[in-house]
A = this chain, B = another copy of it.
Amino acid sequence: MTTMKEIAERTGVSISTVSLVLNKRDAGRVKPQVAAKVRETATQLGYRPNPLARSLRTSKTSILGFVSDEIATTPYAGRLILGAQDAARALGYMILTVNTNGEADLEEHEISTLKQYGVDGFIYARMFNQRTTVPESLLSLPTVLLDGTDDTGRVPSIIPDEEAIGYEATRHLLDAGCRNIAYVGASDRAYAADSGRRAGYRRALREAGLETDAGLEVGTTFNQPALDVVGDLFDARHPDGFFCFNDARAWYVYESAARRGLTVGRDISVVGVDNHRIFAETLAPRLTTMDLPHYEMGYWATLKLVSLIERRTPRIDLPHTTSPLPSLDDHDARIRCTLIRKESVV
């Protein structure tokens, strides 16, 4: 690791001068020839500043703390983190990831450890959109809530536009010709996204001139009880289209259909929000799935956080994305889910 001192010695100037040049603070303060020489030897020696020493002086580490409760249990957590890290790299930041295993005291401990390491701000991430109380201990630093809905509205948050998701999914089924469309949701109230998606589903039906009907809306848990609920829905209402809260629910529809001799993609249409990605390998192309824009959400959370930290809006270029981008100035940025794979709805 080459230091400013070495550059100073090789160039025959003082460390101060090197610092000035390398921090681009030489506007009419250092002779251009000297500056050029400094820069030259710097690149020649492969100089990279020591962020730790710098932060000792500036109390600014360019490190972001990423606090999440259950990194391990959901597969798409990775995309959240990936997006956050890509944005961080683009903006010159690193991310220190920490998980709390859902334990409050461990969470406090990890947060204070992160503060010790001098993080410049926090991303507080949930793994699905749920009502969340941001820990008091975070509020002393810039904080962004990711994939969660803040109870108190004190911190900005990045969440999927659940209503739009429900609307788009249902429109997709309507466009495919379905007229008797069911909603298979989550009965567990922890899934805050359920009500938004259901609302979007209803709006799409109303706009199409169809009646909403509570009998076509069910909520399930898992396994046999879920199969029972969906089976009853099949037998009582004979829907021709299903909007499923996630792919676990879609599977129950698929299974119930099979047991009745119906084929998804021919006799009935199914759109599911994909959480697990297993269907990309198995059921496709018989099922229409919508990807939640986790990558984009992670990316935008970092962008938002950095704009808070630096009190300026960073230049934006989000790679590989199809989602419409929210405004960084919104307190709560809702990201729409637009990616629909495997067009196979009848």
Assuming the A-B contacts A53-B56, A75-B78, are A48 and B278 also in contact, with contact meaning beta carbons closer than 8 angstroms in the complex? Answer: no
Interface residues of A in 38-77 (CB under 8 A from B): 48-53, 55-56, 61, 71-77
Are A97 and B99 neighbours in the complex by a CB distance under 8 Å? no
Complex interface: stretch among A26-34, A154-162, A207-215, A247-255: A247-255
Whether a CB of chain B sits under 8 angstroms from the CB of A345 is no
Shortest Cβ distance from A280 into B: residue: B222
Q: Of A79, A118, A282, which is in contact with the most chain B CB atoms at under 10 Å from its CB? A: A282
Chain B residue contacts of A48, Cβ below 8 A: 112, 116
Chain B residue contacts of A98, Cβ below 8 A: 85, 94
Shortest Cβ distance from A127 into B: residue: B78
A219–B227 alpha-carbon span in the complex (Å): 32
Contact of A52 among B78, B94, B96, B118 (CB under 8 A): B118
A159 to B: closest C-beta gap in Å: 19
Chain B residue contacts of A78, Cβ below 8 A: 71-75, 77-78
If A52-B55, A94-B113 are given as contacts, then 16 extra A-B residue pairs at C-beta distance below 8 Å, sorted by A number, are A50-B118, A51-B116, A52-B56, A56-B56, A72-B295, A75-B277, A78-B78, A85-B97, A94-B96, A94-B98, A94-B117, A251-B278, A251-B281, A251-B282, A258-B258, A276-B277
Give 9 pairs: A residue, B residue, CB < 8 Å, sorted on A.
A48-B112, A49-B116, A52-B55, A75-B75, A75-B78, A85-B97, A89-B110, A247-B278, A276-B277
